[in-house]
Structure 1
């Protein structure tokens, strides 16, 4: 289930009912900060990106989480996971 702060979805039934954002991550060089787009809008102050998946092993927790800092330094995140 997704929490009110955009936390990871842990309940598969709820995950199917909750609209998940379209996420795109662009990076050209490992030394540059990736550009993150959520529903087509570039996000500023990207703090942390975590991706994990394995299409061969259905038991692995496929997931993503992206954390952002707002203008007053608070951390916010979006994510989805099994």
Structure 2
């Protein structure tokens, strides 16, 4: 599926997924995302539609599970 936008800000992704910006930064830092987050001019994070889809799907877990599985588990 081709990209339909040049990139979403961390705030836009937080709003669309229901995750906090702190959680998004944590997932990036821990390597939980499928691919590295692109950076725009000035170093701002630019998330893709694919990132949002993956985050939405991987964080729909029972309340007892607080962390999504690793990217390698989901993509293998």
Bigger helix share: 2
Same topology, TM > 0.5: no
Bigger strand share: 1
Ranked by relative contact order (alpha carbons within 8 Å, sequence separation 6 or more), the top structure is 2
TM-score by length of 2: 0.26
TM-score by length of 1: 0.25
